[in-house]
Amino acid sequence: MTARFSVGIDLGTTNSVIASTELDCDQPTLTLLPIPQVVAAGQIESRNSLPSFYYIAAENEAAAYQLPWQDRPHSFVVGELARQRGADAPHRVISAAKSWLGHHGVNRRDAILPWQSPNDVEKVSPLSATEAYLHHLVCAWNNSHPDAPLAEQKVVLTVPASFDPAARNLTREAALSAGLPADFVLLEEPQAAVYRWLAEKHDSWRDQFNEGDTLLIVDVGGGTTDLTLIRLVGRDGSVELERQAVGNHLLVGGDNMDLALAHLVANQLAGEGHSLDPWQNVALWHSCRAAKEQLLAGEGPETITISVLGRGSRLIGGTVSTHLSRDATADLLINGFFPHCKATEKPERYVASGFQDLGLPYESDPAITKHIAAFLASWRGQSSEPLVPSHLLLNGGVFRSSLLQDAVSDTLTQWAANTSGNPPHRLGASAHDLDHAVAQGAAYYGWSKHRGGLRIRGGTARSYYIGIETAGLAIPGAPRPLRALCVAPRGMEEGTAAEIPSQEVGLMVGRPAKFRFFSSTVRPHDVPGDRLERWSPDELVESDSIQTTLTSQVASDDPFLPVRFQSRVTELGMFELYCHSTRSDEQWQLEFNAREAAKERQS
Amino acid sequence: MSLGTAFRAFFAALGNKQTSEAFLKILNGEPVDNQNILIAPSIKSTSKVDVGSPSFVEPARSEALTLLAMLQREARFVDLVQEPLDQFSDAQVGAAARPCLIQCRQTLQRVFDLIPLTEQAEGSTVAVPLNASALRYQWLGNGEQSSTGRLVHPGWLANQSELGKWTGSPSDAKVIAPIQIQS
């Protein structure tokens, strides 16, 4: 059966969205799918997004949370109810599973979430939680499209640009077991935001660009911030978009800002003698989000009153209120998250204390503008002038506050003025689309790809390396020196393969062969076969190890088999690494090993 | 049934002087002119949640109860209107009512997608179709009904009714808000 729809799925850290368009049309109409979900015991409603929260139900509750497509109650609930339960039963609620999926300090297949919850609560792995969200989305789609099941559609799933190959592989694995079609495509979130903008402009988008222009995308989600730089290159007499660089995975987002504001207000209330219970704190968090949007809008009020309703049925008597001014809010959020800073500034590094929790590596410096400065500086390369992009696209719900949009673009304008450059031109995004742009852009990309239309080129955002221990005398207590062999250059295009010119490596037949794996966003000139003897921790970032077990059919007395490496980037955007025998046609794929990573890191 | 009627009556009376006066007459046992009672026509729900599996039975409670439970859950509506007002100052009532009303509006907007029945401004002269439905157009005053008139109230229309699906058992059908207990 042929696909009728292009379906874009934004699997967000805090919210997931599905958008779609018919494939067979000249002008795509991007529609959001209403997602049925449990909002209270015994109550199902459809919402435009599915909060990415997972609630582990107590035994007696399960029946009240059954969904139309479930033939028996499940032991967990995802969506709005799970998000709300985060207030009164936090140890049963999983949040930010996606950040855990991209965090290789832990074993992503181990049942470790909710993190640090008591032992009597059942736990699940980041992989299973991700699969549960996706499975819910698949069921929601199939429920409203019985004639066009998702497994038969063109599906585009978005991932953070900063996800490394191991995290992408895990996402893919979760998606396939959740019921996505085998040929679904991964797309980076900031690129999806650009596609959303392109969908609005149709063919007129080229009018806004010249060859050599650069476009910076700042995508601030609920829990993460993703940076991408796109360059406009001339190709066959026309300008094309080519992705140049992506930033590191930054665990700071809109939720941090709302929580910071809630913290300020809670302190203010505490000063007035009111203490809040956890449930009221969540209510305060939500009112602070709304207050932030009101106060930091262009023509917003000077102050607004924030009231937290009383607990219990006595509502009026228990209500406490306080005032929040625009100045205090702007001061906290702009100075905290979008401070004016120099183009040469770098985020402050966390000074590790003796004891460190193994939890998510939240950013020690929440200043997004400093992260932007560091990102642009790392891309600048040898040039002494800081690179200031000619165009800027801001995405994510926090940018509904126009003062926050201005804070980013004013900072960039300042950098441009210091180098006598032009201020960046801000590409307009319709305000109500900021939360749904990624899913809509993904659906538009699927449509455009199907029709052979516009595409952002650029290939892989990083160069990739495997670690090979050098042969030599073993020194007791010291690890063998490690060399990094480049196996894929930055910018390796989809659907291409690269043979790695190197000396043969002898692998033992029948035994797992394991390699450490690294990536770099800042070494654009390395080519496959290059060897690095030493590097700084900023240059090469270690990911999950990769491994394979050679099972040779070719009879040989030699337990060692000489192999060479080959890397591929599939049409679906997946990075794959193979080793093949130099004596026969046999080859073996190297798999990312999410299970062993944590153990190795500690050893 | 009676609660559903009461609820519809409540919304019909809310913010409509004439209708509420008419209700007052009914409650006082006085005769009323039927024309003056404008009760929103009940709208067939076009809920997008299909009853996918045969194990699912048709929900056993009225949508009025579901709406009331929703307003309580999201906006603490029942808590607000059930609280005796005498002991509180206007400022206290206002402080509690504001977030409550803002949330009521968001909830009603999501469920009903409320829009004015006409786009025209209050006070402007509007054309009234011949044989216009008495549920859509209500003539005020003693003058002759004609083809135009001055707009006093632009009316309201629910573009949809998306109350979702209640899946509880019949014995819980009348629960508006659960008892909450701290463990």
> Is B47 near chain A, with CB under 8 Å?
yes
**pLDDT band for position B23 (50/70/90)?**
low
Instruction: Please determine, for residue B6, whether its predicted confidence score (pLDDT) is greater than 80.
Output: no
Q: What is the four-CA torsion angle of A576, A582, A584, A586, rounded to 10 degrees?
A: -20
Record: contact A305-B98, CB cut-off 8 A:
yes
Q: Which two tokens stand for residue A499?
A: 């043979």
Mean pLDDT calculated for residue range A235-255? 84
Helix intervals (H) in A312-467: 326-337, 368-380, 402-418, 437-450
Tokens 């998306």 sit on residue: B162
pTM of the model: 0.83
pLDDT at B27 over 80: no
pLDDT in tens, B101-153: 999 999 999 999 999 999 999 999 999 988 888 899 998 887 677 888 899 99
Q: Which of B55, B96, B178 sits opposite A307 (nearest CB)?
A: B96
ipTM of the complex: 0.74
Per-residue pLDDT tens for A533-570? Answer: 888 877 888 888 888 887 766 666 677 788 888 999 88
Report the range out of A342-346, A452-456, A487-491 with the highest average pLDDT.
A487-491
B57 touches chain A (CB under 8 A): no
The better pLDDT of the pair A54, A571 is held by A54
Tokens standing for residue A542? 């270690």
Mean pLDDT, all residues of chain B:
76
Identify the CA nearest to A219 among candidates A193, A243, A256, A255: A193
Query: What's A260's DSSP letter?
Result: H
pLDDT at B45 over 50: no
Bridge partners of residue A321, in order along the sequence: A307
CA distance B79 to B142: 42
Q: Do A143 and B49 lie within an 8 Å CB cutoff?
A: yes
Each residue's pLDDT tens digit, A497-506: 999 887 777 7
Mean pLDDT of B64-86: 93
Element (H or E) spanning A235, and its range?
Answer: strand A225-235
∠A30-A32-A34 over CA atoms, to 5°? 160
CA distance B49 to A530: 57
So what's the pLDDT on residue B174? Answer: 93
Alpha-carbon gap, residue A292 to B104, rounded angstroms: 20
Rg (CA), chain B: 20
The whole-number average pLDDT for the span A188-198 is: 92
What pLDDT digit, counting tens, does each position of A382-436 carry?
566 668 899 999 999 889 888 899 999 999 999 988 877 788 998 876 555 788 9
Three-class HEC string of chain B: CHHHHHHHHHHHHCCCHHHHHHHHHHHCCCCCCHHHCCCCCCCCCCCCCCCCCCCCCCCCCCHHHHHHHHHHHHHCHHHHHHCCCCCCCHHHHHHHHHHHHHHHHHHHHHHHCEEECCCCCCCCEEECCCCCCCCCCCCCCCCCCCCEEECCCCCEEECCCCCCEECCCHHHCCCCCCCCCCC
> Is the pLDDT score of A602 beyond 50?
no
Lowest mean pLDDT among A7-21, A287-301, B86-100: A287-301
Question: How many Å apart are CA A461 and CA A187, to the nearest integer?
Answer: 12
Report whether pLDDT(A305) > 70. Answer: yes
Provide φ and ψ at A168, rounded to 5°.
Answer: -65, -40
Does the beta-carbon distance from B50 to A143 stay under 8 Å?
Answer: yes
Contact call for residues A99 and A363 (beta carbons, < 8 A): no
Q: DSSP states of A120-154 as a string? A: TS--B-HHHHHHHHHHHHHHHHHHH-TTS-GGGSE
**Amino acid (one-letter) located at A288:** C
- The per-residue pLDDT for B58 is 52
Q: Using one digit for the tens of pLDDT, what is the confidence trace for A124-174? A: 999 999 999 999 999 999 999 999 999 999 999 999 988 888 899 999 999
Tokens linked to A495: 């659907």
A428 φ, ψ (degrees, to nearest 5): -70, 135
Residue B33 in this model has a pLDDT that exceeds 90: no
- CB within 8 Å of chain A, chain B residues 66-95: 66, 69-70, 73, 76, 79-80, 82-83, 85, 87-88, 92-93, 95
Q: Are A86 and B88 in contact (CB under 8 A)?
A: no
CA dist B153 and A372 (Å) reads 52
Average pLDDT over residues A472-493: 79
Question: In chain B, pLDDT over 70 holds for what percent of residues?
Answer: 67
CA distance A63 to chain B (A): 9
Coil, helix or strand for A50?
strand
**Contact state of A46 with B80 under an 8 Å Cβ cutoff:** no
User: In which order are the strands placed within the sheet that holds A53-56?
Assistant: A76-78, A53-56, A93-95
Beta-strand pair A35-40/A425-426: unpaired
pLDDT at A112 over 70: yes
pLDDT of residue B51: 40
User: Chain-centre distance of CA A416, in angstroms?
Assistant: 29
Question: What is the structure's pLDDT at A600?
Answer: 44
Report DSSP state, residue A232.
Answer: E
Share of chain A above pLDDT 90, in %: 35
Q: What is the pLDDT of residue B26?
A: 55
Q: Which of residues 114-143 of B touch A (CB under 8 A)?
A: none
Which chain B residues touch A66 with a CB distance below 8 Å?
Answer: 167
